[in-house]
């Protein structure tokens, strides 16, 4: 059984977000059935869904079984519209700028495919971009001769904006693509400042906000991005199997559309001509898991109810507490570098491959995850780490749960 909510040892060093009204914390936890089963510190994998999200999904699945998949989607049309609005509100945009997609990677790939890169065209990115994004850049390099330009990091970690500025000066720079919060390093990249640089250089800007959604307030106008991709399932606490893509007015007006256009995104007018959907729908595929669409809508509304500022500040405070405690454990090396750190804590424990630690912690009811070198070869090699244990608290976690994970690690690693 997980320990009860509480402040535990060492809480005096971190004030503010951890000192939340206990009734609020109790309500969040009462609405999260998973906390009665596990200490869930794998929110960067998938957050625990709260009751309203589960109800939205299961309610729709039941209607599909009762009256049919297409018929229940028609019946739920208004609710589907509300889901777009809820996601738009989360991003500071309008429903017409939101495309719903199967996952964050699909959203990112749809956006990337809108750029007709030619041999020698440059993608400017970071050393910490997400593995699947790096693979997509490498694939474009191999298939079309695109050139990947990775900006330098600052000595303290995180991308160096001066290096990005320099790379964007190239006349061949066609795209700036940045992962806001990398999956494996607890880092927060300065995406707002980079948006200013991209705009100055006149280079389109694509942001991967997969680990940011639900953890950091997102305002696409401040980011000045052309596209932003994310998922429902992580800090936003929505279901698996659905994500979204923000498509700016600038991108729509340019006529951007994905390489593999689907019947949702285009209208076939004559044997050899088509028209694009006027809005972000042009980046969608026709077939949807409508239950998940409604679950995403419920998750976005739930997150707005909690407040992304509150959720993020508390999650990051819990992560800071974890980092401090882990730093004090013998044989443990905390791997997070950067000026600003997220609610993702990564560490290496001497003599323990991370997957073994994950299994040992799971046996004690504590959920964490492991990152292998090949999920982030540049970062992991720079840190000389073969694997990393990843702990990622959410606002509904307690300080006592975080302390329990540290205690368990202390006793496992001896």
Binding site for ligand PLP (CB under 6 A): 103-105, 130, 132, 179, 182-183, 208, 210-211, 231, 243
Classify residue 113 by its DSSP letter: T
Q: Which is nearer to ligand PLP, 179 or 397 (CB)?
A: 179
Q: Which is nearer to ligand PLP, 77 or 377 (CB)?
A: 377
Which residue pairs from 262-271 have beta carbons closer than 8 angstroms and sit at least 24 positions apart in sequence? 262/286
Contact 355, 348 (CB under 8 A): no
Smallest distance from ligand PLP to CB 142, Å: 21
Smallest distance from ligand PLP to CB 103, Å: 3
Smallest distance from ligand PLP to CB 65, Å: 27
Contact 170, 197 (CB under 8 A): no
Identify the CA nearest to 140 among candidates 123, 127, 128.
123
Q: Say how far apart CA 178 and CA 158 lie, in whole Å.
A: 11
Q: Which is nearer to ligand PLP, 225 or 325 (CB)?
A: 225
Cβ burial of 105 (10 Å; 0-12, 13-18, 19+) is buried
Smallest distance from ligand PLP to CB 346, Å: 12
What the block records as the tokens of 228 is 């932003």
Smallest distance from ligand PLP to CB 342, Å: 10
Contact 227, 111 (CB under 8 A): yes
Q: Say how far apart CA 194 and CA 159 lie, in whole Å.
A: 10
Q: Which is nearer to ligand PLP, 103 or 387 (CB)?
A: 103
Smallest distance from ligand PLP to CB 179, Å: 5
Task: Give me the DSSP letters along 144-160.
Answer: H--EEEEPPBPTTSSB-
Stated length of the chain: 414
Q: Which is nearer to ligand PLP, 24 or 139 (CB)?
A: 139
Q: Which is nearer to ligand PLP, 72 or 184 (CB)?
A: 184
Q: Which is nearer to ligand PLP, 183 or 368 (CB)?
A: 183
Smallest distance from ligand PLP to CB 264, Å: 19
């Amino acid at each position: 059984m997980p320990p009860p909510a509480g402040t535990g040892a060492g809480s005096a060093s971190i004030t503010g977000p951890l000192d939340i009204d206990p009734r609020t914390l109790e309500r969040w936890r009462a609405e999260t059935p998973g906390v009665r089963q596990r200490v869930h510190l794998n929110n960067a994998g998938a957050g625990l869904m709260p009751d309203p999200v589960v109800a939205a999904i299961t309610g729709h699945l039941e209607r599909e079984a009762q009256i049919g998949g297409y018929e229940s989607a028609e019946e739920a049309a208004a609710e589907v519209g509300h889901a777009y609005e809820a996601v738009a509100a989360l991003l500071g945009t309008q429903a017409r700028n939101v495309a719903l997609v199967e996952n964050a990677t699909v959203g990112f790939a749809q956006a990337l495919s809108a750029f007709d890169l030619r041999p020698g065209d440059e993608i400017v990115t970071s050393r910490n971009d997400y593995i699947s994004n790096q693979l997509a850049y490498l694939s474009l390099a191999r298939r079309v001769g695109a050139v990947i330009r990775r900006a330098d990091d600052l000595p303290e970690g995180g991308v160096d904006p001066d290096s990005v500025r320099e790379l964007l000066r190239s006349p061949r720079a066609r795209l700036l693509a940045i992962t806001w919060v990398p999956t494996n390093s607890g880092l927060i990249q300065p995406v707002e400042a980079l948006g200013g640089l991209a705009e100055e250089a006149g280079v389109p800007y694509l942001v991967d906000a997969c680990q940011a959604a639900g953890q950091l307030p997102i305002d696409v106008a401040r980011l000045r991005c052309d596209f932003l991709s994310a998922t429902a399932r992580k800090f936003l606490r929505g279901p698996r199997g659905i994500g979204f893509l923000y498509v700016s007015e600038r991108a729509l007006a340019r006529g951007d559309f994905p390489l593999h256009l689907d019947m949702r995104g285009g209208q076939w007018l004559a044997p050899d001509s088509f028209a694009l959907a006027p809005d972000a729908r042009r980046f969608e595929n026709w077939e949807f898991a409508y239950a998940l669409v409604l679950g995403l809508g419920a998750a976005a509304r739930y997150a707005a109810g909690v407040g992304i500022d509150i959720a993020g500040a508390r999650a990051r405070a819990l992560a800071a507490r974890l980092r401090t405690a882990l730093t004090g454990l013998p044989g443990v090396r905390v791997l997070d570098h950067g000026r600003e750190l997220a609610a993702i804590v990564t560490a290496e424990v001497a003599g323990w491959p991370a997957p073994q630690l994950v299994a040992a912690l799971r046996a004690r009811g504590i959920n964490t995850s492991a990152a292998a070198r090949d999920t982030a070869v540049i970062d992991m090699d720079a840190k000389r780490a073969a694997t990393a244990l990843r702990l990622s608290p959410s606002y509904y976690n307690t300080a006592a749960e975080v302390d329990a994970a540290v205690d368990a690690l202390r006793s496992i690693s001896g």
